[in-house]
Amino acid sequence: MENNFDEITERRNTNCFKWDLDGGDILPMWVADMDFKTAPAVIQALAERTSHGIFGYSLTPPAFYKAITGWWNKRHGLSISKDWIVPTPGILPALSATLTGLTSKDSKVVIQPPVYNHFFVTIEHGDCQLVENNLVYEEGQYHIDFEDLDKKLAAPEVKLFLLSNPHNPAGRVWTREELQRIGDISLKNKVIVLSDEIHSDLVYKEHSHIPFASLGEEYSLNSVTFGSPSKTFNLAGLQTAYLFTENEELRKTITEVLQKQEMTLLNVFGIEGLIAAYEKGETWLDELRTYLYDNYLYLKTFCSTFLPEAGISPLEGTYLVWINCNAFGIHSDALAGRLLQNEQLRISPGSIFGKPGDYFIRVNIACPRSLLQEGLERLARELRKAGPA
């Protein structure tokens, strides 16, 4: 490997959300950012931009759009036109503007818990009502209840279906067949699909990311896709993302909201970071994926030896491992509290991802292996105290 992902970079006292929120000796394995330096090409591009010394308002240049279209083409085989792309300062702001534009008061939005906790907040802030199409957990794996989805999308107030593709926190990379069924049910019920593909570049082994928009023109026209280099290249602090849709009317409506909310200008460094990452970051990313998957295998081996009762969900994508702690008989809120207090370890309690997550935890494994090992030892010590129920 050219890149050394074992290297520990001190992040404390850098205003780091993950490390400085608690401070002290807390080992953070929660919020979805990585303890790795980004790709060298990105660091170099940002250093060059810094040396210019002037950081006034920035245009979003043609190279920005070219980098995005090139990336989706080479990494995911999806051909998108630059005209479909709308830059945004993050996926959550983009989702929020989309909800504002495409719903009215009391519209309903369907999600699939356990799912990314901020979806709940964004829908609430958008004055919409939430409808849950819970994923089904069977033999340690998640799948979609399509019958229930059809029923839920049939309600006339349901305007949008918000999909996490790949799925945070279940770690699923949805197959073409699954996505096609979602697409067909949505088309039949005239519900627009919002496909959040922020984790699309972090998929492993035999799994490949299927962009929702790649299913065919009809599906593409009935959807909006949300993308970003922020998870892939650890650039969340640069606040740079985008959405794209082939549907001109949807694009126009969302763009108008973004304009009204004064959210059309991007961060100078975010623009440079995205271009460098997408143009020159592929080798780094492929090495990162190998390292992350090895971390997952390390976690699995560790748990099969020291925590055999813990149910490790297969990690098809993302760097967030979803662990079933039902056997220990302790609610995830209580477990998270005990881990923080007794072991100085912060993980995400499954409860924040919706009721089906109550007895699960989510562990972020995007860190040097020595930190992962330390975190797992702390986790095991506390869970062994709880013991199997």
Ligand X SMILES: Cc1ncc(COP(=O)(O)O)c(C=O)c1O
Using CB under 6 A, list all residues that contact ligand X.
32, 90-92, 116, 164, 168, 196, 198, 228, 230, 236, 241
Segments in 244-367 forming alpha helices (H):
248-260, 268-280, 282-306, 332-343
Nearest CB to ligand X, comparing residues 112 and 214: 112
Nearest CB to ligand X, comparing residues 186 and 228: 228
Task: Give the type of residue at 156.
Answer: P
Q: How far is the CB of 281 from ligand X (least distance, A)?
A: 17
Q: How far is the CB of 234 from ligand X (least distance, A)?
A: 12
Q: Provide long-range contacts, Cβ within 8 A and 24+ apart, for 346-353.
A: 346/22, 346/26, 346/27, 346/28, 346/29, 346/30, 347/29, 347/30, 347/379, 348/30, 348/31, 348/117, 348/169, 350/114, 350/169, 350/322, 350/325, 352/117, 353/113, 353/114, 353/115, 353/116, 353/117, 353/169
Q: How far is the CB of 241 from ligand X (least distance, A)?
A: 5
Nearest CB to ligand X, comparing residues 214 and 348: 348
Residue 204 · residue 317 · CB < 8 Å: yes
The pairing of strands 348-349 and 345-346 is unpaired
Nearest CB to ligand X, comparing residues 41 and 163: 163
Q: How far is the CB of 67 from ligand X (least distance, A)?
A: 17
Q: How far is the CB of 71 from ligand X (least distance, A)?
A: 16
Residue 69 · residue 305 · CB < 8 Å: no
Q: How far is the CB of 33 from ligand X (least distance, A)?
A: 8
Residue 104 · residue 112 · CB < 8 Å: no
Which two structure tokens, joined as six digits, stand for 244? Answer: 């794209």
Nearest CB to ligand X, comparing residues 241 and 307: 241
Nearest CB to ligand X, comparing residues 267 and 344: 267
